[in-house]
Amino acid sequence: MLALAEDAAGGIVDVLGSGRIPLGLAPDWHLDFRSGHRFPEDWFWRIDHRDPSRPSDVKVPWEHARFHAGLWLGQAWRLTGEARYAEAFAELAGSFLAANPPGWGIHWLCPMELAIRAVNWIVTLDLLADAPALGPSLRAGMHASLLWHGRVIRGNLEVGRHVGNHYVADLVGLLALGMLFGETVEGADWRRLAHRELEAQIRWQVHADGVDFEVHELPPAGGGTAAGRTGSPANGRGRFSSGYARGSVRCSTSRWPIRGRTARARSSVMRMMGAYSLRAGTHPWGPSRCLGWVGALLGRDDARHAAGLAVGDALWLAGPSRVAAGPSAPAAPSGGSRAFPSGGFYVLRSRDAHLIPDAGALGFDGTLGHGHFDTLSLEAWAAGAPLLVDRGCYCYTSDFDSYVAQVSARGHNTLTIDDAEPADLVGFWRIRADRTAPVVERWITSERPDGVEEWIGTHGGYGTVGAPLRHRRAVRFERARLAWEIDDTVTGVGRHRATIRWHCAPAVQVRALGGAWELAHAHARFRLESSVELELTDGWVAPRYGVRVPVAVLAGDGGGPLPLRVATGWCSSGREADGELAGTTEGRGQGGLQPREAWSPEARHCRITPDPRPPRRPGTPR
């Protein structure tokens, strides 16, 4: 935290993958410094901030204007007493007030941004309550601006046909502002409205299995914190179940897999109550801090135990006495496989591996939102590191082509048909209809260390009314041998072409082994075989917003009359020994991939009929 505060005091920012950029303490608040585009200084309702033809990203100036840096400066001043931290915040806040009078410019455009900034300001002003650097005129100016923050949020609540995390963030900000201005008529109205609506939204937006209805592993923005403040048993139950959902997908290294739906990983819940001192996705503890909040604010020892050392935020929120777990605190459930059927996530897990197939809707409530075209896609983590990963979220409005690429089914570990998508994308975050209608047909788990687990899901996203198609994916996991079999089948009528893609994690090295492939990371080797010929191609994933890293992608395709079937299997073929990767690359025997004849009868003869037509360039019609 002190390192972050040191950068903030020097006017250095690092937002959304930009790297450390010296903007100073009086930056151009209307500039997207990554693209060079400057948003107009005008009344906010006149500003178009997401023109696909213009390469710019409004989230860059928005992120800086959320004033996370203010929190770090306030915390640093509280810990050290050094005046320079408070002086830096005073200069930064003063420059913002001068450049952004009420209603003027992009920083009044999105109510969620106002809500996040308002909470951060309120907490920072409390941290700096005794700091001489914040004179009466600056405090009065910030309070006047905060009053207008509340008025703009109240008059522009992001509620309509699609109610999601933006609306919850609005309500959390309005609740904080209502508490600040509680002795005024407006403040009392804001507090009553926000409390009532938060109660309703927490019940509405969190499924019974603990997954947010926007299909995040993260709980809805601000929901759990509001629950802690209001003390509602219903709120606490909804938030805590989300914490348990998170515990079930955590790796033994306490890292969460990168999921496309988690852009998602920069969820505003992490920002809401002002103690988020390390950016989401950049710290090895990652979202474990949410479990720390649950334990501290709701008094749950099992959540405190599961949070481990990731309790920095909870310490600032609740104090040391509410953070420490009791000596007999039970562990949160995390050791076995678990289903989250409402959210569509299923976790096939052993002691040192897990695989997560996705059978959820593409988005929520009829819109894509933060979703991707990842139906029946999967991610795998094994032997201490990620193996197969989701593409993640690289950008929003700065690059429409990159946005389409990150959303596309071609960027996920699933089967595509005829180079098409399972839904029609009609702009940022919008689809014409979700045709997938995924169904989980089979889910068998085992508690035995040498047990076998199975999962089967189907969807119809590639079909039409006159020509229905169905993709069926069967997953088989042998826990003891770290062996997976994936059987993909396409049923329907006519001739079609199917393509399978496997996106390896950035640290995975890939090399050919005769008719198979070796996937190796620092801890183990895996042998991968497929019933179609796979080619090694280049791809990318976004480990966090604004950052792309190259990865290896194994892809293969073929076509013919339906049904078409593809089988893929991979298994551990060696573990690290004395700093070297050891094991048999032949992949036979204990720890190796079973011979194809030993696979299940359904998978044994999975072959795609070769397509006699010549290859075509992408995008050309058949």
The single residue listed with the structure tokens 């959902």 is: 245
pLDDT-derived band at 326 (thresholds 50, 70, 90) equals: low
Which residues fall within 8 angstroms of residue 217, CB to CB, at 6 or more apart?
211, 245, 246, 249, 256, 259, 261, 262, 287, 345
pLDDT-derived band at 209 (thresholds 50, 70, 90) equals: confident
The single residue listed with the structure tokens 């998602």 is: 264
* Confidence (pLDDT) at 269: 33
Show the tokens assigned to 54.
Answer: 């213009």
**Mean pLDDT on 498-511:** 94
Distance of alpha carbon 391 from alpha carbon 550, whole angstroms: 11
* Confidence (pLDDT) at 224: 29
**φ/ψ of residue 233, rounded to 5:** -60, -40
* Confidence (pLDDT) at 261: 34
Segment 3-13, tens digit of pLDDT: 999 999 999 99
Secondary structure class of 38 (helix, strand, coil) = strand
Segment 144-160, tens digit of pLDDT: 999 999 999 999 999 87
Highest-pLDDT range among 163-167, 220-224, 260-264, 562-566: 562-566
Q: Give the number of other Cβ atoms within 10 Å of residue 421's Cβ.
A: 19
* Confidence (pLDDT) at 582: 30
Show the tokens assigned to 455.
Answer: 């999962």
pLDDT-derived band at 442 (thresholds 50, 70, 90) equals: very high
Q: Which of 193, 155, 164, 200 is nearest to 176 (CA)?
A: 193
Q: What is the DSSP letter of 323?
A: T
pLDDT surpassing 60 at residue 559 = yes
Segment 541-558, tens digit of pLDDT: 988 888 889 999 999 998
pLDDT surpassing 70 at residue 487 = yes
* Confidence (pLDDT) at 309: 64
Segment 602-618, tens digit of pLDDT: 332 222 322 222 332 33
**Mean pLDDT on 205-226:** 54
What percent of the chain has a predicted confidence (pLDDT) above 70? 76
**Mean pLDDT on 473-491:** 93
* Confidence (pLDDT) at 193: 96
- Specify the higher pLDDT residue, 288 or 358: 358
**Mean pLDDT on 526-537:** 94
Q: Given CA atoms 520, 382, 530, 468 in this order, what sign does their dihedral have? A: negative
* Confidence (pLDDT) at 288: 62
pLDDT surpassing 50 at residue 101 = yes
pLDDT surpassing 90 at residue 474 = yes
- Specify the higher pLDDT residue, 593 or 328: 328
* 482 backbone φψ class: left, alpha, beta (φ>0; ψ -120 to 50): left
pLDDT surpassing 70 at residue 198 = yes
Q: What is the DSSP letter of 508?
A: -
pLDDT-derived band at 299 (thresholds 50, 70, 90) equals: confident
Radius of gyration of the chain (CA): 25
Q: What is the DSSP letter of 610?
A: P
* Confidence (pLDDT) at 280: 28
pLDDT-derived band at 530 (thresholds 50, 70, 90) equals: very high
- Judged on CB neighbours under 10 Å (0-12, 13-18, 19+), 571 is buried
pLDDT surpassing 80 at residue 312 = no
- Specify the higher pLDDT residue, 287 or 397: 397
pLDDT-derived band at 107 (thresholds 50, 70, 90) equals: very high
**Could you tell me the pTM of the whole model?**
0.75
pLDDT-derived band at 216 (thresholds 50, 70, 90) equals: very low
* Confidence (pLDDT) at 53: 67
**Mean pLDDT on 390-395:** 84
DSSP 377-393: -EEEEETTEEEE-----
Distance of alpha carbon 299 from alpha carbon 304, whole angstroms: 8
* Confidence (pLDDT) at 622: 30
- Judged on CB neighbours under 10 Å (0-12, 13-18, 19+), 45 is exposed
* Confidence (pLDDT) at 325: 57
**φ/ψ of residue 444, rounded to 5:** -125, 125
Looking at every residue in the chain, the average pLDDT score rounds to 77
pLDDT-derived band at 508 (thresholds 50, 70, 90) equals: very high
Q: Which of 179, 238, 174, 171 is nearest to 209 (CA)?
A: 238
Range with the lowest mean pLDDT among 345-359, 364-378, 515-529? 364-378
Range with the lowest mean pLDDT among 115-119, 136-140, 488-492, 575-579? 575-579
- Specify the higher pLDDT residue, 385 or 351: 385
Give the helix/strand (H/E) hosting 114: helix 111-127
Q: What is the DSSP letter of 280?
A: T
Segment 23-69, tens digit of pLDDT: 999 999 999 998 888 999 988 888 888 776 677 788 899 999 999 99
Show the tokens assigned to 390.
Answer: 């989701």
- Judged on CB neighbours under 10 Å (0-12, 13-18, 19+), 440 is middle
**Mean pLDDT on 493-513:** 93
* Confidence (pLDDT) at 437: 86
pLDDT surpassing 80 at residue 436 = yes
* Confidence (pLDDT) at 237: 23
Show the tokens assigned to 93.
Answer: 């806040």
pLDDT surpassing 50 at residue 290 = yes
pLDDT-derived band at 512 (thresholds 50, 70, 90) equals: very high
* Confidence (pLDDT) at 599: 30
pLDDT surpassing 50 at residue 241 = no
pLDDT surpassing 50 at residue 336 = yes
* Confidence (pLDDT) at 400: 80
